Structure 1
Amino acid sequence: MNDKLAPKDTVSPIWRGLRTLTAARIGLARTGASIGTGPLLEFQLAHARARDAVHEELDAEKLRSDLSAFGLPVLVVDSAVGSRRDYLMRPDLGRRLSPESEAALAPHAGQTDVALVVADGLSARAVQTHAAPVLAALLPALQAERLTIAPLVIARNARVAIGDAIAQALRADAVTILIGERPGLSAPDSMGAYLTWRPNAETTDADRNCLSNIRTEGIGHADSAFKIAHLLRAMRMRRFSGVRLKDESDLPPLPIPDAG
């Protein structure tokens, strides 16, 4: 091909080097005042994937089958939302259990150390992909500390605060909710973990600890499980969670508190 007719990479070599270090869209090639056709099409595809992830519904039965392998009872509950469309329009209803779900949890109530909840949130794909691998690493760590674990709960059309209602219904001291995060243009399948000590009606977001970006390209499954176990241990020792409790999992291990 004639060199004069070949497309030219108008991006500075400095930007090309930086692009190897991040998935962020930086140093994009331009055509006149607009970005190049290739980056534009990639952006549109990423945007479509993010939109699809938000509207995608959780395959609760497939997830229940995956979680059953851990040997704990698995319960499926719903928020007070009637449909996925309502879920996106009414965040407040996504924080509450439906009356039928409250009744379904009641027979399983018993004083336990921790409740583990898996919720679709804004990306069902995220928990469908990452929840089971994280729990596969987390559960042995909790069982090694002789913690009592409530039945695993799958929550549909749920927001973070539904974990509070579930923990109260099951009478668990602490709750960890694994939930699909808002899809980004580089990550439609990112999962978050929110941990709360003794949640109640007065609990706010400041009372939670959050671990974000759980996915293959972010914080891996084993590392996430390690951090969650560490935070739960710290909560039991200090009797609080949230902004006062820092992630110090990179420091020497905390002693395992007595089961009582």
Structure 2
Amino acid sequence: MSTFWDPLRHRTPARIGLDRVGDAARTRHVLESAEALALARDAVHGSLDVDRLGDELRALGIGEPVHVPSAAPDRATYLSRPDLGRRPADVPVLAPADLTLVVADGLSAEATALHAAGVLAALLAELPGDLTVGPPIIATQARVALADHIGAAQEARLCVVVIGERPGLSAHDSLGAYVTWAPAPGTADSARNCVSNIRRPHGLGHADAARTLARLIAGARRIEATGVQLKDTSGRLTDG
């Protein structure tokens, strides 16, 4: 029999209007929640296959990928010491470029493995020809701010970092992308723009994410800023 919740369940992966038996949720809901929690835990503790990702990024044709580990020596330290994930163990010597691209494992290496190369491939097709792009950086045990060190070393005007987002009970494989103008150590989060929930089939697709990032990049170049000064509303960028 149809209920009030049925049409709403088709619009969201969130667990809403769960059936009950007496005072308890039905067994299938309990098992589904346990499975979602297990997937989220696996995502958080999983490791990135750097070699495989390197092959995918190499195929983009923008240079040999460079692996940059963070100052966190292992996953356990990374999870307990976010500050170590925000800085690289060592900053490589890189040729100057207008745009730095960083691919980071973040809190879901699975999301990075599934979506990062596809998003970057779509993004490169949207970029103007006068924008020089450095070789892709693979950052492991990394937080978003690690990319600021790479961008500064590359003297980049812009940095895009794609990173596995914190898993939830509805999504364990969601990718986020951050755009930062004039990246430098100490950059505040308010100076970045974020495109989140990049995943298939229940999130933002690769092509749509790339178009949004390209609009942000164009807007950032126009006003020479990102973050709270740059807005992307209904596909049209505004500043202020």
Q: Same fold (TM over 0.5)?
A: yes
Match of 1:153 in 2: 137
Distance in 2 of aligned mates of 1:206 and 1:156: 24
Q: Which of the numbers 17, 20, 26 marks the counterpart of 2:7?
A: 17
Match of 2:78 in 1: 87
Match of 2:154 in 1: 170
Contact 1:180–1:190 at 8 Å: present in 2 too? yes
Q: Percent identity?
A: 50
Match of 2:198 in 1: 214
Shift in Å at residue 228 of structure 1?
0.4
Q: Which of the numbers 167, 182, 199 marks the counterpart of 1:183?
A: 167
| Distance change (3 Å), C-alpha of 1:14 and 1:249 | closer
Q: Which runs of 5+ in 1 are unaligned?
A: 1-8, 254-260
Q: Which runs of 4+ in 1 moved over 3 A?
A: none
Contact 2:102–2:137 at 8 Å: present in 1 too? yes
Aligned to 2:236, the other structure's residue is in SS state coil
2:113 aligned with 1:128, yes or no? yes
Contact 2:88–2:149 at 8 Å: present in 1 too? yes
Amino acid at match of 1:76: H
Deviations 1:167-225 (A, max 9, x none): 01111111000000001111110000011000223410000000100011211100000
Match of 1:32 in 2: 22
Q: Which of the numbers 3, 23, 38 marks the counterpart of 1:48?
A: 38
Larger radius of gyration: 1
Contact 2:152–2:185 at 8 Å: present in 1 too? no
Distance in 1 of aligned mates of 2:72 and 2:149: 15
Contact 2:198–2:204 at 8 Å: present in 1 too? yes
| Distance change (3 Å), C-alpha of 1:211 and 1:82 | same
Contact 1:116–1:175 at 8 Å: present in 2 too? yes
Contact 1:179–1:193 at 8 Å: present in 2 too? yes
Amino acid at match of 2:104: A
Shift in Å at residue 252 of structure 1?
8.4
Q: Which of the numbers 232, 235, 239 marks the counterpart of 1:247?
A: 232
Shift in Å at residue 145 of structure 1?
3.3
Amino acid at match of 2:211: F
Distance in 1 of aligned mates of 2:156 and 2:162: 16
Match of 1:196 in 2: 180
Match of 1:4 in 2: none
Shift in Å at residue 245 of structure 1?
0.6
| Distance change (3 Å), C-alpha of 1:252 and 1:154 | closer
TM-score by length of 2: 0.95
Amino acid at match of 2:73: G
Shift in Å at residue 249 of structure 1?
6.0
TM-score by length of 1: 0.87
Contact 1:131–1:178 at 8 Å: present in 2 too? yes
| Distance change (3 Å), C-alpha of 1:42 and 1:252 | closer
2:214 aligned with 1:229, yes or no? yes
Contact 1:118–1:131 at 8 Å: present in 2 too? yes
Contact 1:206–1:242 at 8 Å: present in 2 too? yes
Shift in Å at residue 136 of structure 1?
1.1
Contact 2:66–2:137 at 8 Å: present in 1 too? yes
Contact 1:230–1:249 at 8 Å: present in 2 too? no
Worse-superposed segment, 151-160 or 201-210 = 201-210
Match of 2:103 in 1: 118
